[in-house]
Amino acid sequence: MTLPFAVLIPARLASTRLPDKPLADIAGLPMVVRVARRALQSSAERVVVAADDTRIVAACEAHGIQALLTRTDHASGSDRLAEACTQLGLADDAIVVNVQGDEPLIDPALIDAVARTLASHPDAAMSTAAHAIESIEDFLNPNVVKAVLDARGNALYFSRAPIPWWRDGFAKGGATALPKSPAALRHIGIYGYRAGFVRQFPNLPPAPIEATEALEQLRALWHGHRIAVHVSAHAPGPGIDTPEDLERVRALLSDA
């Protein structure tokens, strides 16, 4: 039986590094439409863009993508997601996968895997994904978020620091090779939730470690909620944060 779940794509027009990012043209289509079309290749029952501007809604509807208008003053994508779940009237136990609106190369199979991971961990409030880090440069890079898991595949912690720290292997002059067991994992920014928890999450007080690391998912761990993690065999396609990222993805899709 196919697992029922929905994909929600938060899309905010304002971006300091790339203005009007959701509407950026990529090989003839707005970025957010490309993301939604990839999500539609997953097993999701529905794919909905949660936008903060009528221009995003109009662009989606012009290409047959369902979109709804949310408030402009949300502090984060999670808050926008919570409003979307309420507007759509989703049941508390409905599974929702949050796909970022700047991931036009998202793998539909990864979306399915994140939904399945949450369904198979009934004690978890959230699910996400990670993959093995392949270079020491990524392991040491604070912009690459690392994850450490427990024996059941739940997250113990997420950090910008290089974790797990290989005490014996790094004792003689710093990190020159990657930890082997457990392998170092890079977090992938895709999340599965139950709709009831999505609506609850914005009301949880922010956590000190969330502010320190600048990682919103640490709020859930701080308050005792479990996050189940799917370990992917592959790194995801590049996301888009800057004009340079946009040109890179445009080149990839124009060559496809």
Dist. CA 67–CA 50, nearest whole Å: 6
Write out pLDDT tens, residues 114-137: 999 999 999 999 999 999 999 999
The letter for the amino acid at 231 is: V
What's the pTM?
0.93
In terms of DSSP bridges, do strands 146-149 and 66-69 run parallel, antiparallel, or are they unpaired? unpaired
What is the model's pLDDT at position 1? 45
Return left, alpha or beta for 52; rule: phi > 0 is left, psi -120 to 50 is alpha, else beta.
alpha
Residue 121 lies in a domain: yes
Do 182 and 164 meet the contact criterion of CB atoms below 8 Å apart? yes
Residue 166 lies in a domain: no
Dist. CA 18–CA 141, nearest whole Å: 23
User: DSSP character for 243?
Assistant: H
The tally of domains found in the chain comes to 1
Q: Containing domain of residue 234, as a range?
A: 6-128+187-254
| CATH number for the domain harbouring residue 40 | 3.90.550.10
Q: Which residues face 204 on adjacent strands?
A: none
Write out pLDDT tens, residues 157-213: 999 999 999 888 887 767 778 888 888 999 999 999 999 999 999 999 999 999 999
